Amino acid sequence: MFASRFTRRALAALALTLSPVAALHAAEPIRLVVGFAPGGGVDTLARVTAQALSKELDRTVIVENKSGAGGTISADYVSKSQADGNTLLFADTSLLVAPYIYPALRYDLQRDFAPIGMVGQSDLALAVPGDSPVKTVAELIEAIRKAPPQTETFASVGVGSVHHLGGELFALQTKTELVHVPYRGGAPASQALASGEVSMSFASLASSIGLANSGRIRLLATLSERRFPGMPDLPSVSETIPGYSVTPSLFMLAPQNVDPALIATVSKALENSMQQKQVQDAFLAQGSVAGYQDAQATEKWLGEETERWANVIKTAQLDFKQ
């Protein structure tokens, strides 16, 4: 009888050990690794997501910042973490462009990670100085075409950023010529626009609203294919340039070889989190839109978006290694 009880207990313990739900209720917290410094837009949204996931999973989820090199330091770290589901990556579209900027990366986004799900989108905006006569995207395109060559400039937060590529795609689709002027972050780029150092900027919507409200810059449109829900009167560039869409997307990845059942559990918790009104409101306050997609859709998006930006980089003849 003792042997029978021991066998039953052993089997029960083994089942508990192998259960993905049990793994998620382990004492060790889940670390949600972010490739950007505390206080920034991606970090803020990661913390909103982590708090919601903690409640859904009944498990502590903490944000760990490993900033630098466009988010690649965090990706490299997570790719080499144990495949136990305790270390996950919270990333954005910049990782898809990273191989062109840092060709010596020691990880492969498709080979070394398993998608968990899409989290949402962070809107960008096209803006001009507050004293510019330009009031619409159509007027801006006309002004660029009338200007002498090499005189129309645009600011971004840095070479190879999604903001930079947004400007390059704008030039490609309008068949115009723009000169890129990179800055070290959103604040100096916005100040340069406000002072008239550049003709326009492709910047975070959240970081642009303050200067726009003060009249120092003018928002012409969002770069998304749809209008930003928090500012429904602001048009999208796609309303003037059909097919134009540049919206940094947020997503979660796990190291490759994490139990698929565990990934499914986290993905479901992410879906529930993104449906919560307080989460959606917190995203809107950051110029972003919460929007879940499952692991399969995320994997498809990663492949398509990587190819899309590769084509833009090739067509625009961009060389980030110079």
Task: Give ∠ CA 162-74-300 in degrees, rounded to 5.
Answer: 55
Q: Give the confidence band of 192 by pLDDT, cuts at 50, 70, 90.
A: very high
Share of the chain above pLDDT 90, in %: 89
pLDDT tens for 14-49 read 444 445 555 555 668 999 999 999 999 999 999 999
Whether the predicted pLDDT of 5 surpasses 60: no
Strands (E), the chain: 30-34, 61-65, 87-92, 113-122, 124-129, 153-156, 179-182, 200-204, 217-222, 249-255, 288-293
Whether the full predicted model's pTM is greater than 0.95, yes or no, is no
Q: What is the pLDDT of residue 24?
A: 56
CATH fold, domain 29-122+247-314, is D-Maltodextrin-Binding Protein; domain 2 (3.40.190)
Whether the predicted pLDDT of 205 surpasses 50: yes
Long-range CB contacts (within 8 A, 24+) of 92-96: 92/42, 92/122, 92/162, 92/248, 92/249, 92/250, 92/251, 93/162, 93/248, 93/249, 93/305, 93/309, 94/70, 94/160, 94/161, 94/162, 94/248, 95/35, 95/70, 95/71, 96/302, 96/305, 96/306, 96/309
Q: Tell me which of 3.40.50.300, 2.40.50.100, 1.10.645.10, 3.40.190.10 is the CATH number of domain 127-246.
A: 3.40.190.10
Domain with CATH 3.40.190.10 in the chain: 127-246
Whether the predicted pLDDT of 181 surpasses 90: yes
Q: What is the pLDDT of residue 26?
A: 61
| Average pLDDT score over the chain | 92
Q: What is the pLDDT of residue 1?
A: 38
Task: Report which of residues 288 and 19 the model is more confident about.
Answer: 288
Q: Give the confidence band of 320 by pLDDT, cuts at 50, 70, 90.
A: confident
**Number of helices (H) and strands (E), helices first, in the chain?**
12, 11
Comparing 35-44, 224-233, 236-245, 313-322, the range with the smallest average pLDDT is: 313-322
Q: How far apart are CA 238 and CA 250, in angstroms?
A: 21
Domain with CATH 3.40.190.150 in the chain: 29-122+247-314
**pLDDT, average across residues 60-80:** 97
Q: How far apart are CA 36 and CA 41, in angstroms?
A: 9
Q: What is the pLDDT of residue 25?
A: 52
Q: How far apart are CA 49 and CA 267, in angstroms?
A: 12
Q: Which residues of 5-23 are buried (b: 16+ CB within 10 A; e: fewer)?
A: eeeeeeeeeeeeeeebeeb
